[in-house]
Amino acid sequence: MANLHVPMISKTQEQNQSLHYPSVIELSKSALENNFRFLREYYGEDVRISSVVKANAYGHGISHFVPIAESCGIDHFSVFSLDEAVQVRSALRNHADVMVMGWIDPADYEMAVADEYEFYVFEPEVLPLAIEASKKTGKKAKIHLEIETGMNRTGLTSVELRACVKILKQNPDNFIIRGLCTHYAGAESISNYFRIQKQYKNYNRTYKWLARQGIVPDIMHTACSAASVAYPKTRMDMVRVGILQYGFWPSPETFIYYTHGNHTNQNPLSHVISWKSSLMSIKNVKSGEFVSYGTTYLAKQDMTIAIIPTGYSTGYSRSLSNQGRVLIHGQRVGVVGMVNMNMLIIDITGIEEVKIGDEVVFIGDQGEQDITVASFVEFSDQLNYEVLARLPQNIPRVIVE
Ligand SMILES: *Cc1c(COP(=O)(O)O)cnc(C)c1O
């Protein structure tokens, strides 16, 4: 794999099993089982689930997440780029389909075809590369035609699709047309309602046009998590499920849509991820002193603070300075002062018997309390997606029941 092209150099360090790390991410197997059980029932048997594991499985970690998803019966995975597809394949215990929805370097199509990865086609120029790869390897390229329906990102325009149809018809032995797909421009917000309806119509019109040209893709798929909830007709043959499987709603609006439509106020999803660290130092600070770099935090009373070995280089956003909340001894306490590169400071005034090594929770439960990614979002103005996807690859992941 030495010659695989990658969008950015990102090498996961080999983690030494017995060594401890400044923070750790736990993945709950039972939470994931719960989420897939719910989604299967919600979508019905006829809809296949593709587990979207781009961005290192939304920060959960591809190599840990994929085998658990597989043990829940998932046999289709979607990623952004070919290097991620290779990571998924090497994490799999059995065969599953792996689909690249985005970037493949032109030099890597031969590998993509040889190793039977499915991939999106959103530029006609890719087809000659795929034909060449198919002839060389003796395998058919498994493609999904991605069409432009109104998002104006990747996707074949009608002129480009026509060019593709011509090439596909001339080279029927080199392709399996696995799917026809598109992506909606913001299904998590009602403000995009008309745009999405229009995209849905454009998609169906194109599907019919293709059929008249004699091209019938194996499956139709358009929905991400939000579309699958807010526009059930977009589910078609397969849903590309990202955020929901991890136990998060794409937006508060999508959750409300679900609860209203299903006459429930229960959240059927459970968070798979928890992110924890431990206390490295404790200190008393006198009233009137500043804490951490600069003067952003002034102690207004005598207080006790604790230093935690996690900072913005290890996933805790600097924008949570003086804002973030963590759990210690089952209590919610605030981050004080600036988040540093490798450390942050919390206020533990009044919490009894705190000692070095005590567990601190950034995301997840402790006692009766929990901290969700959504609470980070309010503070740091980032989406659920971004908080998760930014969790660094070098935090060790462990699987818990
Ligand atoms: C990321 C992505 C998805 C999954 O989105 P969620 O909102 O996390 O479900 C689906 N389709 C495409 C093309 C994507 O890029």
Q: Residues in the chain with pLDDT < 70?
A: 1-3, 6-17, 375-383
What is the H or E stretch that residue 129 is in?
helix 126-137
Pocket test for ligand 1, best of 240, 257, 385 (most atoms within 8 A of CB): 240
Read off the amino acid at residue 141. A
311 in the same domain as 208: no
- Compute the distance from residue 127 Cα to the ligand 1 centre, in Å: 24
- Compute the distance from residue 380 Cα to the ligand 1 centre, in Å: 22
Minimal CA–CA distance to 385: which of 54, 44, 89, 132?
54
- Compute the distance from residue 231 Cα to the ligand 1 centre, in Å: 15
- Compute the distance from residue 123 Cα to the ligand 1 centre, in Å: 20
Pocket test for ligand 1, best of 101, 258, 385 (most atoms within 8 A of CB): 101
338 in the same domain as 244: no
Q: Which residues line ligand 1 (CB under 6 A)?
A: 52, 54, 101, 183, 224-226, 240-243, 250
Two tokens, residue 190: 């009602």
CB 358 within 8 A of CB 329: yes
149 in the same domain as 55: yes
Residue 18: per-residue pLDDT? 78
Residue 382: per-residue pLDDT? 58
Nearest atom, ligand 1, residue 240 CA: 10
Q: What domain count does the chain have?
A: 2
**What phi and psi, each to the nearest 5 degrees, are found at residue 284?**
-95, 140
| Alpha carbon nearest to ligand 1 atom 6, residue | 242
- Compute the distance from residue 302 Cα to the ligand 1 centre, in Å: 49
Residue 377: per-residue pLDDT? 64
Point out the domain boundary residue: 241, 262, 283. Answer: 262
Residue 19: per-residue pLDDT? 87
Two tokens, residue 310: 């996690």
The string of pLDDT tens digits covering residues 26-43 is 999 999 999 999 999 999
Q: Are strands 325-328 and 359-366 parallel, antiparallel or unpaired?
A: antiparallel
Two tokens, residue 238: 């397969």
| Alpha carbon nearest to ligand 1 atom 4, residue | 242
Residue 11: per-residue pLDDT? 44
Which range of residues forms the domain containing residue 289? 273-400
Nearest atom, ligand 1, residue 241 CA: 9
185 in the same domain as 70: yes
Spatial separation of the C-alpha atoms in residues 67 and 254, rounded to whole Å: 28
- Compute the distance from residue 2 Cα to the ligand 1 centre, in Å: 29
- Compute the distance from residue 298 Cα to the ligand 1 centre, in Å: 43
| Alpha carbon nearest to ligand 1 atom 11, residue | 224
| Alpha carbon nearest to ligand 1 atom 13, residue | 183
Is residue 41 situated within a structural domain?
no
* CATH code, 300: 2.40.37.10
Is residue 8 situated within a structural domain?
no
215 in the same domain as 68: yes
186 in the same domain as 285: no
The string of pLDDT tens digits covering residues 162-182 is 999 999 999 999 999 999 999
- Compute the distance from residue 258 Cα to the ligand 1 centre, in Å: 18
